[in-house]
Amino acid sequence: MPKLAIAKGCLQQFGELDRPLREKITETLVAKFEAATHTGIHMEKIADARTPRYRSIRIDQFYRGIVLAPETGDVYTLLTVLPHDDAYAWARRRDLTVNRATGAIEVRDVTTIDETLPQLVKAAEATPERLFARVNDADLTRLGIDESTLPIARTLTDTAQLDALKPVLPETQWDALAGLASGLSPEQVWSELGAEIVDEPYDTDDLDAAVARSTDRIVLVDGPDDLMAIFAHPFALWRIYLHPTQQAVVDATFRGPARVTGGPGTGKTVVALHRAHRLAQQTTESVLVTTFTSTLTDSLHAGIKLLATSPEVLDRIDVQHVDKLAHQIFRERHGAPQLLSSADETQLWSSIIERLELPFTEAFLAAEWRHVALAQRVSTAADYLSAKRTGRGRRLGANQKAQVWQALWEFEDTLRERNLWTHETVCREATRLLEERDDKPYRHIVVDEAQDLSPERWRLLRAAVSDGPDDLFIAGDTHQRIYQSHVSLREVGIRVTGRSSRLNLNYRTTAEILGWSLQLLRGERIDDMDGQLDSIAGYRSDVHGMPPTTKGFGTQSDEVGYVADTVQAWLDSGIAPGEIGIATRAKRLGTKVQDELFKRGVPVRSLGKAKDAADSVSIGSMHAMKGLEFRCMAVAGVGAKQVPPTAAITPVEEDVQTHDRDIQRERCVLFVACTRAREDLLVTWSEEPSPFLVPLV
Summarize the annotated binding site for ATP as residue ranges. 262-269
Contacts of 205 (CB under 8 A, 6+ apart): 98
Query: In 107-223, where does DSSP find H-type helix?
Result: 110-125, 137-142, 150-155, 159-164, 171-181, 186-193, 207-213
C-alpha 375/C-alpha 491 separation (Å) is: 10
Give the DSSP letter string of 488-506: -GGGGT---TT-EEEE-EE
Q: What is the DSSP letter of 605?
A: E
Helix (H), strand (E) at residue 617: strand 617-621
Q: How many CA atoms within 13 Å lie on the side-chain side of 165? A: 30
C-alpha 173/C-alpha 141 separation (Å) is: 10
C-alpha 603/C-alpha 205 separation (Å) is: 51
592 φ/ψ sector (left φ>0, alpha ψ -120 to 50, else beta): alpha
C-alpha 50/C-alpha 683 separation (Å) is: 45
C-alpha 290/C-alpha 92 separation (Å) is: 49
Strands lying side by side in the sheet with 54-58: 44-45, 54-58, 63-68, 75-83, 3-7, 218-221
Helices and strands (DSSP H and E) totals, the chain: 27, 22
Give the DSSP letter string of 117-140: HHHHHHHHHT-S--TTTTS-HHHH
Other beta carbons within 10 angstroms of residue 501's beta carbon come to 18
C-alpha 262/C-alpha 170 separation (Å) is: 26
Output phi, psi for 135, to 5 deg: -110, 125
* HEC-encoded secondary structure of 406-444: HHHHHHHHHHHHHCCECHHHHHHHHHHHHHHCCCCCECE
Asked whether 50 and 88 are in contact (CB, 8 A), the reply is no
C-alpha 374/C-alpha 141 separation (Å) is: 56
| CA nearest to 271, candidates 239, 319, 296 | 239
For the chain, state the CA radius of gyration.
28
C-alpha 75/C-alpha 173 separation (Å) is: 25
Helix (H), strand (E) at residue 66: strand 63-68
C-alpha 78/C-alpha 81 separation (Å) is: 8
Collapse the DSSP code of 95 into the 3-class scheme (helix H, G, I; strand E, B; otherwise coil) and give the result.
strand
List the Cα angle 479/172/474 in 5-degree steps: 30
- Upstream peptide bond of 689 is cis (omega within 30 degrees of 0): no
For the chain, report the end-to-end CA distance as a whole number of angstroms. Answer: 59
C-alpha 262/C-alpha 270 separation (Å) is: 12
C-alpha 155/C-alpha 627 separation (Å) is: 41
Binding-site positions read: 262-269
